[in-house]
C-alpha cells in the first residue's frame, strides 16, 4: 500500500471548530476572533508536542462567503503545519464539495490537506511505531472491515469519521459502534457533546466533542472545550483543555429554553429543519440529505415529515 508518510510523535485531533465571520446561533459578537484563538492554541500545542494536527470536520460553519480576512488569517495560521482536515457537512454547499467552498480555497492555497475521499489517507511514523489513518468524510460509509495484509505487522489503523454514531447519550443514532475488523480506533467528529470511549471488540470508538460551544443550553454551560491526543500504545485519548471564556461572556444572560422535551441534538434538528426547509440556506446542506441523515424511519412523525417534504418539492 503506497501512502504519503508523515513523521511526528502522534496525532492531535480537533473537532468541529465551526469558524465563521459572523456569530452563529446565539453566540455574541467576538465569535470569529475567539474561535481563531482556539485554533491557534491547538496548533501551538501541536508544535510544542510534535503532533500532526487533524481536524474532524466542520472547519467552517458557513460553507461559502466567509470573509477574506478570515481566510487570510487561516492561511497564515495553517501554512507552517499544513494540517489534515476531514470534510464535514458544514464544509459543503448543498451537500456538495465544490471549488467555491471556503475549505477548498485553503486547499488551493496549499495550506491544508483535505480528507475528502473515503479510504486510507496517510501513514504516520512515530518513535513507538507506525499507524495508517483512514477517513470517512460526511456522506461516505464507515468501512465494514479493513484489509491489513499490505501493512507492517505492528502497524495500527485509525479511522476518522464525521457521522451520527450511537454513543451513550445518543443511542438511536444511525451508525452503530461495532467491531470493525482491521481497525483499532474510530475517532468521530460531528457530535458536539463529548462522549466516553467505547470498546467494541478490538475497535475503540472515540468522540472528543467540538472545541467551540455553539448551543445555548445547560449542557454547554458545563462544557470545558478540549483537544485530544493519540500516541501509539494509548488505552484512551489524552484530553488537553483549551483556554476559553466564561459562558456568559459568549452567550446572552437569559434563561435556558425548556430542555425537558429532548436533547440538545434534537433541538438542533428542529433548528436545522427550520433553516433548511425553504430551498436554500447559507449552511448549504440539501433538505433531502438532511432528512435522510436525521430522521428515524420507524417513527410516525418521520413519515409525516417526508410527506410534507414531498408536497413542498411537488410545489416547486
d(CA 98, CA 105): 10
Task: Check residues 31 and 93 and name the one with the higher pLDDT.
Answer: 31
Instruction: Look at residue 168 and tell me whether its pLDDT is greater than 60.
Output: yes
Quickly state the pLDDT bin for 287 (edges 50, 70, 90).
low
The SS3 call for residue 311 is helix
- In whole angstroms, what is the distance from residue 185 CA to residue 18 CA? 24
- What whole-number distance in Å separates Cα of residue 252 and Cα of residue 255? 9
Asked whether the whole model's pTM tops 0.85, one would answer: no
How much of the chain exceeds pLDDT 70, in percent?
A: 84
pLDDT in tens, 117-143: 999 999 999 999 999 999 999 999 999
- Bridge partners (DSSP) of residue 160 are 135, 187
Grid cell 449552511 — which residue?
A: 283
The mean of the pLDDT values for the chain is 88
Listed range (8-22, 67-81, 123-137, 272-286) with the worst mean pLDDT: 272-286
Q: CA separation (Å) from 262 to 19, 43, 155, 194, 284?
A: 27, 36, 42, 17, 25
What's the confidence (pLDDT) of residue 288? 65
By mean pLDDT, which of 36-40, 86-90, 237-241, 298-302 is the weakest? 298-302
* Burial of 74: CB neighbours in 10 Å, binned 0-12, 13-18, 19+: buried
The string of pLDDT tens digits covering residues 212-253 is 999 898 999 999 999 999 999 999 999 999 999 999 999 999
Above 60 in pLDDT, residue 158? yes
When pLDDT is averaged across residues 100-112 and rounded to a whole number, the result is 97
What pLDDT, on a 0 to 100 scale, did the predictor assign at position 150?
Answer: 87
* CA 154 – CA 116 distance, rounded (Å): 27
Distances (CA, A) of 37 to 19, 68, 173, 315: 11, 17, 32, 46
List pLDDT tens digits, range 265-285: 444 555 555 444 433 444 444
Q: Which residues pair with 165 in a beta bridge?
A: 175
DSSP characters over 119-163: EEEEEEEETTEEEEEEEE-TTSPPPS----TTS-TT-EEEEEE-S
Compute how many other C-beta atoms are within 10 angstroms of the C-beta atom of residue 232: 19
**C-alpha distance across the termini of the chain, in Å:** 48
Q: Cα separation of 44 and 56, whole Å?
A: 18
| pLDDT recorded at residue 283 | 40
Residue with cell 472545550: 225
At 303 the pLDDT is 75
If pLDDT is split at 50, 70 and 90, which confidence band does 152 have? confident
Find the range with the poorest average confidence among 93-107, 122-136, 138-152, 248-262.
248-262
Q: How many other C-beta atoms are found inside a 10 Å radius of the C-beta of residue 172?
A: 10
Q: Could you report the per-residue pLDDT of 170-219, keeping only the tens digit for each? A: 888 889 999 999 999 999 999 999 999 999 999 999 999 999 999 898 99
Q: Please give the average per-residue pLDDT across 86-106, as a whole number.
A: 94
For the cut 60, the answer to whether the pLDDT of residue 286 exceeds it is no
CB atoms within 10 A of CB 88: 26
Amino acid at each position: 500500500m503506497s501512502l504519503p508518510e508523515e513523521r511526528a510523535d502522534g496525532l492531535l485531533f480537533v473537532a468541529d471548530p465551526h469558524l465563521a465571520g459572523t456569530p452563529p446561533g446565539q453566540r455574541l459578537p467576538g465569535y470569529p476572533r475567539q474561535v481563531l484563538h482556539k485554533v491557534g492554541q491547538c496548533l501551538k500545542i501541536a508544535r510544542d508536542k510534535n503532533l500532526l494536527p487533524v481536524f474532524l470536520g466542520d472547519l467552517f460553519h458557513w460553507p461559502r462567503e466567509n470573509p477574506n480576512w478570515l481566510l487570510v488569517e487561516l492561511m497564515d495560521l495553517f501554512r507552517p503545519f499544513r494540517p489534515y482536515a476531514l470534510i464535514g457537512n458544514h464544509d459543503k454547499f448543498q451537500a456538495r464539495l465544490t471549488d467555491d467552498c471556503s475549505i477548498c480555497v485553503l486547499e488551493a492555497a496549499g495550506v491544508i490537506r483535505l480528507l475528502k475521499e473515503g479510504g486510507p489517507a496517510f501513514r504516520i511514523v512515530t518513535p513507538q511505531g507506525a499507524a495508517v489513518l483512514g477517513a470517512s468524510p460526511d456522506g461516505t460509509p464507515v468501512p465494514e472491515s479493513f484489509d491489513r495484509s499490505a501493512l507492517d505487522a505492528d502497524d495500527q489503523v485509525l479511522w476518522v469519521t464525521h457521522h451520527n454514531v450511537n454513543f451513550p447519550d445518543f443511542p438511536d443514532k444511525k451508525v452503530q459502534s461495532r467491531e470493525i475488523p482491521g481497525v483499532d480506533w474510530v475517532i468521530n467528529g460531528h457530535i458536539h457533546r463529548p462522549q466516553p470511549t467505547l470498546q467494541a471488540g478490538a475497535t475503540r470508538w472515540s468522540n472528543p466533542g467540538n472545541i467551540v460551544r455553539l448551543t445555548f443550553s445547560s449542557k454547554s454551560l458545563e462544557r470545558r472545550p478540549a483537544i485530544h491526543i493519540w500516541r501509539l500504545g494509548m488505552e484512551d485519548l489524552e484530553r488537553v483543555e483549551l483556554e476559553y471564556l466564561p459562558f456568559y461572556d459568549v452567550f446572552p444572560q437569559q434563561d435556558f429554553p425548556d430542555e425537558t422535551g429532548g436533547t440538545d441534538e434534537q433541538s438542533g434538528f428542529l433548528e436545522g429543519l427550520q433553516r433548511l426547509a425553504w430551498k436554500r440556506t447559507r449552511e448549504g446542506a440539501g433538505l433531502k440529505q438532511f432528512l435522510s441523515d436525521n430522521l428515524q424511519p420507524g417513527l410516525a412523525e418521520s413519515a409525516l415529515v417526508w410527506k410534507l417534504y414531498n408536497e413542498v418539492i411537488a410545489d416547486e
